[in-house]
Amino acid sequence: METIPRNSYTYFLKHLFGHLESSADGHFDQYMRNPRISKQELVKYLIQLFENYETDVAHYSDSQIAEGIEFIFDSSLSDWVFALRQGPAPLEDRLRAILGLKNIFSLCFEKRCVSSLAHCDEEGNSLNQICYMLWEITPLAKCEYLRDKEALYQAIAEVMEFSLKLNNKACIESGLHGLGHIVSYYPKASRIIERNIRRFRRIDPRLRSYAKYAMKGQIM
């Protein structure tokens, strides 16, 4: 394992997704140390990961992918997400990485999550939880005092709206969950929900009800 350079993209992927599923704590291989990369390199690797999901990540199991994504975005597990919020990587690269999450929703969550609703306590698989909670656990959705907040909110909201147009109920619920969290800071979030709300009735009437709460920022 240590023969792979710790600053390489290969090592980065193995650190995120190549952990042993049978490990005692359910997370990462204890012998796999953190990649030795700068924050700028981290953002470039995240772009590469998201844009090349099908070739670089899709072969991992649901639980491996779920834990890797959680590690990236949950600030209680790593500080990686702050490289997307605050730099020092150029804003253009950070926005490209954020928008790359569309691939995670369309190529991963859409295909691999159980089409169920977490806020209704319906059962899912190991990917459903991170799909539903992504925008709640990550400080990426809390940009109010940042210099680049408008551009960041616009990119985040674009990903959320993208998920509203998918067919898996878990993806739609995730987008509504996220938009409900940012509606107080980014008023356009409410309009995004409003222009998509009609299709929710056809998919599941409960999504329409959840959308109405999300428009007011009253989400669970």
8-state DSSP, 145: T
Query: Please, what sign has the CA dihedral across residues 92, 51, 140, 9?
Result: negative
Task: Provide the token pair at 23.
Answer: 């490990």
d(CA 177, CA 211): 8
C-beta of residue 86 within 8 angstroms of C-beta of residue 40? no
Q: Around Cβ 99, how many Cβ atoms within 10 Å?
A: 17
What pLDDT is attached to residue 37? Answer: 93
What pLDDT is attached to residue 32? Answer: 63
What pLDDT is attached to residue 14? Answer: 92
Task: List the domain boundaries for the chain.
Answer: 9-113+120-215
What pLDDT is attached to residue 20? Answer: 53
C-beta of residue 121 within 8 angstroms of C-beta of residue 132? no
What pLDDT is attached to residue 18? Answer: 87
Q: Give residues with Cβ within 8 angstroms of 41, minimum separation 6.
A: 7
Give the H/E segment covering residue 161. helix 149-164
pTM attached to this predicted model:
0.91
What pLDDT is attached to residue 220? Answer: 65
What pLDDT is attached to residue 148? Answer: 94
Mind listing the pLDDT tens digit of every residue in the chain (220 residues)?
457 888 999 999 999 998 754 444 444 444 467 888 999 999 999 999 999 999 999 999 999 999 999 999 999 999 999 999 998 999 999 999 999 999 999 999 999 999 999 999 999 999 999 999 999 999 998 988 899 999 999 999 999 999 999 999 999 999 999 999 999 999 999 999 999 998 888 889 999 999 999 999 888 6
What pLDDT is attached to residue 2? Answer: 52
